[in-house]
Structure 1
């Protein structure tokens, strides 16, 4: 696995974090999944097919100063500067130290790049937890840089009367934004004026530790995709992949950051749910007797990066009934989208 992944990261090191305006570069994330899930031999072929969509790394404008990092935060024009900044950071300090310093700074802007900032960081952290290599540290730097350049806070959560221990009920109670005609920035901008948003975003469901609660939220998001994914087959995968990226990162963070990580991850899941859920669910698809490996193989055969990453999250919860069905349903919906 290691050589395929490091080769892929080296191949992608001079590509930009976005393409066609502000669409995310999914190649590093997909490469990490393919190598982890037994498809490393397909990585370079997959990159050959995806590579035409990629753009070159953006050039820097001005050096970001340690003491003035707040000013360029959330400024996509400074993406090249953030890349230069974080490359220096991971060269000069252990990656966990860099992560612990910047995670709480970036976490309030978890909506960055339609949550792809935190998702890319989560994949990089998982690869580094397996093995520390220069290529993986550089990928973490690029993920953090993307998150910083697109840093975007959500409408604040509140403390309302609504509470639920059941994550699925909590997701079902998230209100939909009124206008779902345009992209995610337009939709998220409506959250502050959406009735019951503050209560829903502040009502973090689940019981147990922060990691246990976040795992139950992620699993509920996977299962809910089976009946609501038709609302937006691609965008609704992020209701599960974003919190799972946080969940995978939490073991590498100081314990003091676990609770704020849970809070931000729930807010991100609720926001994507509010922005893209359909008005009505549809009956879940018929179940199939398939293994996790078979579901991943179907996603890899289709080649779509969103399906590959969603099934990767699904496999983390494969022991729960219905999760593999949700993965298969996502593959079908996305391929037909």
Structure 2
């Protein structure tokens, strides 16, 4: 039942573009996957119905991207249609894991693509494929990769390792803030190159000294989730990505060669740090008091009722954190985030 619902949802949005209004991301496939994965497949089609006016047609291509000339159009949104066609061909010509492994290191340096929605969309698609391999899910992976390629945006400098032991929450608290937080994310991220303290913060990937890559990456996700409870008020939607972007990388790891795990950890941390630098307020607020009577299932229903995909995706990521943590405040953080969004 849930398998067919997700494939139907992917088919419904397959011929829509990855963006609308020239920049805003198409969240329909990501939200649909999160809802199905969390047992809320019954509401997916109704949710897409309500979201339909935010969908635009898939852009047409200009000219094919040669296999050996992919670098020049990387990060060119005018070539979005060409990238969509390119990955349709790539995935028709070989196993999806091979395509992912080939393109992941090419795309990873540009993890900020589409306000990190490129990697997030890929992460949702990979989770769906690891659950069950179907044609619509393979096609959705191609659309996510194409969006990432079209909006490819690097964050420099990356961490190079070896990474000393550090607490992820303390590392997030140490990330410097960009001085001008009045504009959109592109203008904010552009300030990172001149921001004192950014290079050491971006390169200091946190985690336990003996922790493997998945453990360190999960720690970053969990710290960003909890920090939303004290700092999310400043920009509830955008600060969601400090958690959902690294979680997308974490979800993709099982499908990637282990040799790609360490650079993936570094890029994921850079994305989390960049979103934090761009949107975090100067002051924290008290965390919401624990003790809510709501369950995570009920919070997800509330998130669905908002109609906002960011609320759905944040609760989805928080559910992953809840499987690793006995933090009694997580439910309150989830409920607060949904209300703020």
| TM interval, short-chain normalised | over 0.9
Contact 1:231–1:276 under 8 Å retained in 2: yes
Question: 1:74-95: CA deviations, max 9, x gaps?
Answer: 0000000000000111111000
1:245 aligns with 2:245: no
CA-atom RMSD in angstroms:
1.3
Q: Which TM-score applies when normalising by structure 2? A: 0.95
Separation in 1 of the partners of 2:160 and 2:247?
A: 24
Separation in 1 of the partners of 2:148 and 2:319?
A: 26
Separation in 2 of the partners of 1:180 and 1:236?
A: 13
Question: 1:100-143: CA deviations, max 9, x gaps?
Answer: 00000000000000000000000000000011101000000000
Separation in 1 of the partners of 2:274 and 2:262?
A: 18
Distance change >3 Å, CA 137–CA 158, structure 1 → 2: closer
Contact 2:240–2:314 under 8 Å retained in 1: yes
Deviation at 1:67, TM superposition (A): 0.4
Deviation at 1:163, TM superposition (A): 6.0
Residue 309 (structure 1) aligns with: 313
Structure 2 unmatched runs, 5+? none
Equivalenced residues, count: 333
Q: Which TM-score applies when normalising by structure 1? A: 0.97
Deviation at 1:164, TM superposition (A): 5.6
Structure 1 unmatched runs, 5+? none
Separation in 2 of the partners of 1:164 and 1:269?
A: 18
Separation in 2 of the partners of 1:323 and 1:215?
A: 15
Residue 66 (structure 1) aligns with: 67
Separation in 2 of the partners of 1:201 and 1:176?
A: 12
Deviation at 1:290, TM superposition (A): 2.9
Residue 130 (structure 2) aligns with: 129
Deviation at 1:34, TM superposition (A): 1.1
1:326 aligns with 2:333: yes
Distance change >3 Å, CA 158–CA 198, structure 1 → 2: farther
Structure 1 residue ranges, 4+ long, deviating more than 6 angstroms after superposition: none
Separation in 2 of the partners of 1:239 and 1:134?
A: 31
Deviation at 1:227, TM superposition (A): 0.2
Deviation at 1:304, TM superposition (A): 1.1
